[in-house]
Structure 1
């Protein structure tokens, strides 16, 4: 393994760890790990580098070959560099979209509150349930309807235009 690698648990490792230590009825082919090896395997999460895991292994009294042993047993694997880069990009994109949604929700709620002048309690409650972009757009339609009822269609259209203009582009 290269120092920049970030080993991950395999499906076999997750199945192994889901069993209680010493549980009867486990398949014979499963490896038997020491308590220290099991503790190390638990910490393998695809986020820690090999050097971090080796440091943990040493603190558990294990030698440097333990990661190779776990890999040989099929309990950990390491994605290649392009897979790791793709995983980091997906995580960064998801984080960006989550922050974008949170900012958009706050902006839209503030604007709706001003346009509804104290009649936004129901929309505030509904906004708390918005966790996706599609739910956000549904919630915006409800805001528009409420603004149309309280003010008029022109103000509702202005609301939608201002919210759309302030959304960062994906």
Structure 2
């Protein structure tokens, strides 16, 4: 193996600049070549024994954080992971998402007590204005991290 000297690097950069200036090489050609090289070096995920495994995981987390995988596909992969782990796989119920021009669906307002037996004075639920704080559902597995704890669903943050 030969060692590249500073003169070799300068000659290579000059040759590249000359090819671009002459129109023999375009920036899109360079980009295509860079993508092909990256795919060859990094594009195959072999698993935990792969030296690039941690980098693959870091990039996967970044893709998920940027909504790079649709929620229905994520649900499918979750079902696959649970099946591999031997957990029972429940049917996934997908909820329709509102279209961008539609108003979001909101939960109905709680009703006032229908009879005197339902009133707070008789041991029933308190009146509408005096609702206690809603109970936060506990995680089915308290020993595990719940990434959705405290998350309030809202409008999408994706640019459309």
Q: Which has the higher helix share?
A: 1
Structure scoring higher RCO (CA < 8 A, sep ≥ 6) equals 1
* TM-score tier after normalising by the smaller chain length: under 0.3
Bigger Rg over Cα: 2
